């Protein structure tokens, strides 16, 4: 693990790091904010998954989360959204597939399968690295994300009952099988068998999951991607049908940006803190 840079932040420390990922067969970068409480004890951790085109730095620079994490004594971890600079055909051709668009799946189609194992990276490899090198309480782990990362957080929490204390999302892609973002990514990474896509679709997972973890979602109602790509009404309907606990807050006038995320970040950190520190 290579340290790229460190910054003092709200009496804690924000660091940026790089390592050779075994599951992705490529270098990966991530960021960790350790609150001041970590100087004396192990602290809970909250993993954040970013959206399309983002790196590990977008969240740390724009969300304003560190001040709330410092107040509660919670570590924050963010990571890049895919391996990069691999020289794969089509890797840089579009914003919604390839570099910056790993969709938190384990790709099965070549050439992506060798390098794009982002589900395993988030669920297993990166947490193991974090637990080894930082003062983290590995029994107190939660996850959240935005857009593509909101999709990833919800899917990962639903597929891993008991692993996460809580999950939340900003503007998540909840039904990727039913929009152009999802069908493009899934067909490219997973192939044409749509049965295999269901394991990465929140609405499909709610129908079959053994997990009863509550879902906490914030959605801006002026979001430019609301109707075509985010489709929160699908999540609302399936959770009602399956009696799955869901808090879906709809905010008039807010869009898809970090201006929206930063406005409600304190609510999300408070939500996770209540469950991580219980």
Catalytic residues: 147, 223, 256
Q: What is the CA radius of gyration of the chain?
A: 17
Question: What are 2's two structure tokens?
Answer: 């290579």
Closest residue by Cα to residue 251 from 260, 243, 259: 260
- Please give the order of strands across the beta sheet that includes 12-21: 2-9, 12-21, 26-34, 75-79, 43-49, 136-146, 167-170, 215-220, 246-251
Q: Which residues pair with 27 in a beta bridge?
A: 20
Widest Cα–Cα separation across the chain? 51
Burial per residue of 65-77, b for 16 or more beta-carbon CB atoms within 10 angstroms, e otherwise: bbebbbbbbbbbb
Residue 54 to residue 72: CA distance in whole angstroms: 26
């Amino acid at each position: 693990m290579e340290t790229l840079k460190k910054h003092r932040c709200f009496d804690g420390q924000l660091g940026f790091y790089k390592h050779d990922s075994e599951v992705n067969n490529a270098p990966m970068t991530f960021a960790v904010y350790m609150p001041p409480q970590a100087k004396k004890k192990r602290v809970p951790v909250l993993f954040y998954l970013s959206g399309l085109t983002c790196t590990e730095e977008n969240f740390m620079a724009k969300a304003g989360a560190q001040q709330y994490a410092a107040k509660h004594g919670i570590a924050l971890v963010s990571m890049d959204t895919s391996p990069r600079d691999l020289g794969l055909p089509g890797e840089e051709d579009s914003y919604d597939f390839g570099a910056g668009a790993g969709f938190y799946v384990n790709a099965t189609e070549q050439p992506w399968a060798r390098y794009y194992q982002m589900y395993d990276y988030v669920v297993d490899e990166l947490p193991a690295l974090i637990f080894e090198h930082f003062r983290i309480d590995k029994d107190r782990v939660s996850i959240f994300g935005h857009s593509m990362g909101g999709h990833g957080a919800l899917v990962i929490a639903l597929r891993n009952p008991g692993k996460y204390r809580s999950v939340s999302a900003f503007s998540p892609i909840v039904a990727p099988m039913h929009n152009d973002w999802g069908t493009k990514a899934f067909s490219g990474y997973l192939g044409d068998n749509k049965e295999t896509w269901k394991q990465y679709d929140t609405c499909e997972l709610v129908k079959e999951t053994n997990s009863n973890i509550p879902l906490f979602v914030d959605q801006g109602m002026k979001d430019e991607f609301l109707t075509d790509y985010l489709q929160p009404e699908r999540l609302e309907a399936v959770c009602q049908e399956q009696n799955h606990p869901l808090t879906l807050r709809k905010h008039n006038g807010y869009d898809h940006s970090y201006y929206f995320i930063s406005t409600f970040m304190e609510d999300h950190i408070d939500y996770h803190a209540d469950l991580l520190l219980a």
